[in-house]
């Protein structure tokens, strides 16, 4: 696509001459006889470069530039053409954003070099800006992707942390349960030892009570009828029977004797008092 150069000059001869020379170089040319006309053209079509006369009626070159600049592409270059050039004017034009300055009558060979250099510089800046924008877009995409990965990784770490906390809690509970089982086991061993000891003592004591009961029978048989001592022997035998019942309970506790449940008369059990307690 051909690049279009806008020539802004109130002298029609200069406009025609520049248009003919630029067209021979392969450029499209738009012509404006005033600043206002140039503004209309800038609004209507893309322009690659502006050749701008300084001395024009209604609006001079610098004023025209100030009005064109906000409407044109950011990097569109403008070159001032004037027959009344001065260092002060050139500096003023460059300070507002112009890229170059050429005095009239125009040396077209020099102007051609300035035009090509200005367009190349503008295109280079445009490419660099586009590359920078593309780099910024790529950087933003990479940044967003990195943030996404960080969020995903953070979520994974939180899940792993929660899982680890649950595992630690379960392990602590298992350790607590194990310690409780150990305590219960030690207590069971202790009670078993006590039961064995109680069972052994009860067995020996029961043997002694058996001897006492046997000798009580011997005494009852040897004592004459009506002897008061027979009652004492009966009390001894009753006490031995009660002691024997206690040994049976101890043996049952130690699991050496089977428990035989039976119905008892609580009144009779409550009413029993050894005769020795009444004396």
Render pLDDT for 137-174 as a digit per residue (tens, 0 to 9). 999 999 999 999 999 999 999 999 999 999 999 999 99
Dist CA 119 CA 275 (whole Å)? 139
Asked if 41 and 6 count as a contact pair (C-beta separation under 8 A), the reply is yes
Could you tell me the CATH number of the domain that includes residue 22? 3.40.50.2300
Question: Of 106, 135, 151, which residue is a domain's last?
Answer: 106
pTM of the model: 0.50
Mean pLDDT of the chain: 82
Asked if 69 and 90 count as a contact pair (C-beta separation under 8 A), the reply is no
Dist CA 88 CA 76 (whole Å)? 23
Q: What is the pLDDT of residue 262?
A: 64
Strand pairing of 4-8 and 28-32? parallel
Render pLDDT for 232-242 as a digit per residue (tens, 0 to 9). 878 888 888 88
Instruction: Decide if 252 is inside a domain.
Output: yes
Percent of the chain with pLDDT over 90: 28
Of 127 and 270, more confident = 127
Instruction: Decide if 38 is inside a domain.
Output: yes
Render pLDDT for 180-239 as a digit per residue (tens, 0 to 9). 999 888 888 887 787 777 777 877 877 887 888 888 887 778 788 777 777 887 888 888
DSSP, collapsed to helix, strand or coil, labels residue 103 as strand
- The DSSP annotation for 203-244 comes to HHHHHHHHHHHHHHHHHHHHSPTT-THHHHHHHHHHHHHHHH
Question: Of 75, 106, 137, which residue is a domain's last?
Answer: 106
> What's the total number of domains in the chain?
2
Question: Of 79, 106, 133, which residue is a domain's last?
Answer: 106
Dist CA 181 CA 10 (whole Å)? 109
Dist CA 268 CA 264 (whole Å)? 8
| Highest-scoring range by mean pLDDT, 47-51, 232-236, 266-270 | 47-51
Instruction: Decide if 112 is inside a domain.
Output: no
User: Per-residue pLDDT for 276 more than 50?
Assistant: no
Q: What is the pLDDT of residue 172?
A: 92
pLDDT band at 263 (very low <50, low <70, confident <90, very high): low
Q: What is the pLDDT of residue 125?
A: 85
- In which domain, by residue range, is 266 found? 191-278
Instruction: Decide if 44 is inside a domain.
Output: yes
Q: What is the pLDDT of residue 167?
A: 92
């Amino acid at each position: 696509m051909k690049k279009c150069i806008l020539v802004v000059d109130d002298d029609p001869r200069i406009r025609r001459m520049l248009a003919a020379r630029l067209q021979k170089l392969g450029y499209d040319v738009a012509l404006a006889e005033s600043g206002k006309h140039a503004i209309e053209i800038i609004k209507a079509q893309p322009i690659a470069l502006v050749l701008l006369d300084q001395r024009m009626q209604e609006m001079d070159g610098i004023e025209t530039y100030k009005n064109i600049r906000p409407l044109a592409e950011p990097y569109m270059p403008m070159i001032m053409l004037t027959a009344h050039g001065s260092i002060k004017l050139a500096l003023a034009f460059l300070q507002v954003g112009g890229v170059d300055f050429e005095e009239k009558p125009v040396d077209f060979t020099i102007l051609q070099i300035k035009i090509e250099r200005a367009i190349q510089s503008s295109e280079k800046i445009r490419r660099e800006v586009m590359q920078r924008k593309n780099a910024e877009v790529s950087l933003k995409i990479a940044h967003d992707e990195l943030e996404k990965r960080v969020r995903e990784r953070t979520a994974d770490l939180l899940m792993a942390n929660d899982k680890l906390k649950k595992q630690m809690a379960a392990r602590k509970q298992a350790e607590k349960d194990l310690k409780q089982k150990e305590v219960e086991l030690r207590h069971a061993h202790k009670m078993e030892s006590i039961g064995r000891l109680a069972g052994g003592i009860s067995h020996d004591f029961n043997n002694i009570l058996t001897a006492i009961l046997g000798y009580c029978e011997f005494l009852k048989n040897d004592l004459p009828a009506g002897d008061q001592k027979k009652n004492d022997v009966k009390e001894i035998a009753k006490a031995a029977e009660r002691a024997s019942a206690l040994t049976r309970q101890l043996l049952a506790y130690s699991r050496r004797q089977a428990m035989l449940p039976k119905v008892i008369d609580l009144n009779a059990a409550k009413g029993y008092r050894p005769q020795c307690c009444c004396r």
